Amino acid sequence: MNAIPLPGDRYGKLTVQHQVGKGDNRGARYACVCACGCYPFYAKARELNSGRVTECKRCAKRRAD
């Protein structure tokens, strides 16, 4: 079973702020703030726990360029 992200937990550059809505069959979403200041960035618990999402889309695009 995957851990439930709590406010203040860090996943790469993202810091969890709070849960958005309730979890359903697609998984709960969490509002996160990126180290670059991008807020809010929404990610699912399974994406955070698996390491698939570790930064906002703006940082990912900047890193890819």
Of residues 26 and 59, more confidently modeled: 59
HSE-CB of 39 using CA atoms within 13 angstroms: 8
pTM, entire model: 0.84
Reported as a pLDDT band with limits 50, 70 and 90, residue 65 is: confident
* Per-residue model confidence (pLDDT) at position 27: 78
Q: Express each pLDDT in 31-61 by its tens digit.
A: 999 999 888 899 998 899 999 999 998 998 8
Could you tell me whether strands 14-20 and 41-44 are parallel, antiparallel, or unpaired per DSSP bridges?
unpaired
